[in-house]
Structure 1
Amino acid sequence: MGRAAEMLEVTQPFLRSLEEADLITPQRSKGGHRRYSRRQLRRAARARELVDQGTPVTAACRIITLEDQLAEYTDRRSPDSRS
């Protein structure tokens, strides 16, 4: 968690708040350390952008979830994805 927080220039409590809001759910190592996927790190970075703009964490998490849903829907509807 410390390394991820350092990479994203956020605090560890910020990452925990994203977990509590169900935006990210890192895997755990055998030693109990959190392991973040690239997708989770991208989502956390996006959350940081929104929070830096003044958006509350819970609202930022909802926005990101909706953005992801829209992207999935758009991908399914695009002519290139129909086979």
Structure 2
Amino acid sequence: MPRPETGDRFDDDDYPAYTVGAAADMIGATPAFLRALGEARLIEPLRSEGGHRRYSRYQLRIAARARELVDQGTPIESACRIIILEDQLEEALRINEELRGSKPSG
């Protein structure tokens, strides 16, 4: 199987490029916070061949949003639920917009 070009990985939001330490530094949190998000099933990091957690940019954006909510005093379980509901709402709005755009004018 051919390996993706390196440049493709830089553009891929889902590529698990960041170790737990680097990811925690990027969002201003601790590795324990990222592990808690995994335990709450908000984000599930991929594992390297050695079994180490790896995070994507997409996952880091979600983790950063969770950190914002927790920093505002929201319990982590509630923050995770809020983010899941926000994501579901965004998807529902996108689908609704697509369906409205596909109706014939008349």
| TM-score range normalised by the length of the shorter chain | over 0.9
Structure 2, unmatched stretches of 5+, are 1-19
Partner of 1:65: 84
Structure 2 counterpart of 1:15, from 34, 55, 77: 34
Cα deviation digits, residues 31-82 of structure 1 (max 9, x gap): 1121112221111000000000000000000000000000000000114885
Partner of 1:76: 95
Cα deviation digits, residues 8-46 of structure 1 (max 9, x gap): 110111001000000000110101121112221111000
Counterpart residue identity of residue 42, structure 1: R
SS at match of 2:51: coil
TM-score by length of 2: 0.73
Partner of 2:65: 46
Is 1:5 paired with 2:24? yes
Structure 1 counterpart of 2:48, from 8, 15, 29: 29
Counterparts of 2:39 and 2:100, CA distance in 1:
34
Counterparts of 1:57 and 1:65, CA distance in 2:
12
Counterparts of 1:16 and 1:37, CA distance in 2:
14
Structure 1, unmatched stretches of 5+, are none
**Quick one: structure 1 residues 76 and 11, their matched pair in 2 at CA, closer, same or farther if it must change by over 3 Å?**
same
SS at match of 1:78: helix
TM-score by length of 1: 0.93
Which of the two has greater helix per residue?
A: 1
Query: Cα RMSD (Å) of the superposition?
Result: 1.6
Identity %: 63
